[in-house]
């Protein structure tokens, strides 16, 4: 259960990112949230899968559970952030949603603040 907490925190922050984005553009938050959320949610899943696979590759299957830390800034946080951003933007482009350069930059910064920020704070507090 404790190992799922970082994934849940990331999921909640991605939902918050999408809700803030919809609200800042005066779009209906609840009715359109799923349309905005699904590409980033899948990107988040991709990022987590890559992070777990990287831990397995780095430490071997026997060490994966002992060495994988969902709260680690590197490699977990970086891989989760990149997966969420790149996967989300790719899926948005394929599905006909906007990927203007300004949006990509804002999304990169906000997702970095959200997905890396809490990990950096935990690292600093240790």
- 67 near 55, Cβ under 8 Å? yes
- 114 near 88, Cβ under 8 Å? no
Euclidean distance between CA atoms 79 and 55, whole angstroms:
11
Question: Domain containing 57: what range?
Answer: 2-125
120 sits in which H/E element: helix 101-125
pLDDT of amino acid 59: 63
Mean pLDDT over 87-96 rounds to: 97
Is it the case that residue 9 has pLDDT exceeding 60?
A: yes
pLDDT of amino acid 34: 92
pLDDT band at 126 (very low <50, low <70, confident <90, very high): confident
Backbone dihedral region for residue 63 (phi beyond 0: left; psi -120 to 50: alpha; all else: beta): alpha
pLDDT tens digits, 57-79: 776 655 445 578 999 999 999 99
The number of domains in the chain is 1
């Amino acid at each position: 259960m404790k190992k799922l907490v970082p994934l849940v925190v990331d999921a909640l922050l991605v939902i918050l990112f999408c809700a803030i984005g919809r609200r800042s553009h005066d779009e209906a938050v609840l009715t359109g949230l799923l349309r905005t959320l699904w590409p980033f949610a899948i990107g988040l899943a991709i990022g987590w899968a890559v992070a777990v696979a990287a831990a397995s590759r780095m430490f071997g299957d026997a060490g994966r559970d002992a060495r994988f830390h969902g709260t680690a800034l590197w490699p977990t946080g970086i891989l989760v952030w990149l997966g969420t951003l790149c996967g989300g933007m790719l899926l948005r482009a394929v599905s006909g949603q906007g990927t203007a350069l300004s949006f990509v930059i804002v999304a990169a910064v906000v997702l970095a603040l959200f997905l890396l920020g809490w990990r950096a704070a935990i690292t600093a507090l240790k």
